[in-house]
Amino acid sequence: MAKRKKQKQIFKYECTMTGEIYKTTKKAENPDDLISVSAYYEMNPEEDDRPENIKKELGVE
């Protein structure tokens, strides 16, 4: 007997700071507390460990 392929469920969430919409395959416990990566680095610039060329592409100083 053939196995049926399990359908992945996709969840859409919106960043509370930037309004950016992104998709995940896992349900979030607190979707109102989610922020995007760019919003996180905007809030915590001292923890921004991205390479310099990426920062220049995004316009981050």
Residue-range definition of the domain harbouring residue 48 = 11-58
Q: Within a domain: residue 23?
A: yes
pTM over 0.95: no
Q: Within a domain: residue 4?
A: no
Element (H, E) at 23: strand 21-24
Q: Within a domain: residue 2?
A: no
Q: Within a domain: residue 25?
A: yes
Number of compact structural domains in the chain: 1
Tell me the per-residue pLDDT of 2-58, one tens digit each, with 9 for 90 and over.
Answer: 788 888 899 999 988 888 898 999 999 998 888 888 888 889 989 988 899 988 898
Q: Within a domain: residue 20?
A: yes
Phi/psi-derived region of residue 12, left when phi > 0, alpha when psi is between -120 and 50, beta in every other case: beta
